[in-house]
Homo-oligomer: A and B are copies of this chain.
């Protein structure tokens, strides 16, 4: 696993929830660099509806933890201008579904300013938002729209799957001189994991092998990594050894690590919670199918969210996302063991 290797000065570890790890990363970076500030809806006293930002306004004050009006486009635009002029904004967009409102400022302004100005302007902006269904929040509060932002040159896109990765990647995002979209699964906030003590960063563009295996490669993003690891356990019982790879940043994408694994196993499945059609799984699957072409024993399979708006009813919503069972079943078929 490359995260420990990327850890400097890490002594022991502590058990933190994903939410606590995000909170710690923000607090550390705000202590380290006073140009860092947070802006978003209900993030100060309320500490964010998901409580992830609890305590930050108390430590850093309302000038650096700003409760904003319900103006996603406006706060993103304000963030772009602040970033161009010496600050490092962390813009909080409560639900990833609201990316629909900020894309002009994100894709036409933040992502292009450096290039359009011939390298003069810089936009060190981090936009944090969320993804994920199965929260019974229905179609406008459950989307995973990472494919949209990953399609935009000039943006970096991070999807963390563990508390340790979330902390190290978020710190890297804030220090990056480019606009970074950092997307967290709402369902992950309460998930616990080991987080290295001390200061560490995790570089972008370095995939992490979450599980080593021989028979099939499962490339998974965000909380789908947990689904993939659970599927790997099921497969183990059937004598199928699955390797699980977490790209961690889908832009830049660590193609080499992914392709090498697919060449080793000869079989690959790509799992992402965004809609399947024209989604993240398409890019990664086509990269594997192209670069590992001569090593593949079977077609690369894609497992995204079903191509329907996310329904409210539990009996419907539960069948729209990949699960350990469906991933394992797909792997069995790929390996001819179903």
What residues make up the interface of A, taking CB atoms closer than 8 Å to B?
97-101, 103-104, 106-108, 111-112, 115-116, 138-140, 145, 147-148, 150-154, 250-251, 253, 274-275, 277-283, 285-286, 289-291, 293, 296, 298-302, 307-309, 311
Name A139's contact: one of B112, B145, B275, B282 (CB within 8 Å).
B112
Residue of B nearest to A99 (CB): B103
The minimal Cβ–Cβ distance linking A133 to chain B, given in whole angstroms, is 13
A278 to B145, CA, bound (A): 12
B153 touches A307 (CB 8 A): yes
| Chain B neighbourhood of A98, CB < 8 A | 104
| Chain B neighbourhood of A275, CB < 8 A | 151-153
* CB-based closest 5 A-B pairs: A289-B289, A100-B104, A293-B299, A282-B282, A151-B278
B154 touches A309 (CB 8 A): yes
The minimal Cβ–Cβ distance linking A145 to chain B, given in whole angstroms, is 8
A106 to B99, CA, bound (A): 13
| Chain B neighbourhood of A300, CB < 8 A | 286, 289-290
A301 to B98, CA, bound (A): 34
Name A286's contact: one of B99, B112, B286 (CB within 8 Å).
B286
A251 touches B280 (CB 8 A): no
Residue of B nearest to A101 (CB): B104
A150 touches B278 (CB 8 A): yes
A148 touches B150 (CB 8 A): no
Of A106, A147, A282, A296, which is in contact with the most chain B CB atoms at under 10 Å from its CB?
A: A282
A302 to B278, CA, bound (A): 14
The minimal Cβ–Cβ distance linking A308 to chain B, given in whole angstroms, is 5
B308 touches A298 (CB 8 A): no
A sample of 7 inter-chain contacts (CB < 8 A) reads: A100-B107, A112-B139, A116-B309, A153-B275, A153-B308, A290-B301, A293-B298
A285 to B150, CA, bound (A): 18
A56 to B149, CA, bound (A): 37
| Chain B neighbourhood of A286, CB < 8 A | 281-282, 285-286, 289, 300, 302
| Chain B neighbourhood of A147, CB < 8 A | 147, 151, 278
The minimal Cβ–Cβ distance linking A336 to chain B, given in whole angstroms, is 14
B111 touches A309 (CB 8 A): yes
Asked, given contacts A116-B309, A308-B115, whether A285 binds B290 with beta carbons under 8 Å apart, the answer is yes
A104 to B153, CA, bound (A): 21
| Chain B neighbourhood of A150, CB < 8 A | 277-278
The minimal Cβ–Cβ distance linking A293 to chain B, given in whole angstroms, is 4
A245 to B140, CA, bound (A): 36
| Chain B neighbourhood of A299, CB < 8 A | 289-291, 293
A256 to B99, CA, bound (A): 33
Given known contacts A153-B307, A250-B278, what 7 new A-B pairs fall within 8 Å (CB)? Answer: A147-B151, A150-B278, A278-B280, A278-B283, A279-B283, A286-B300, A289-B289
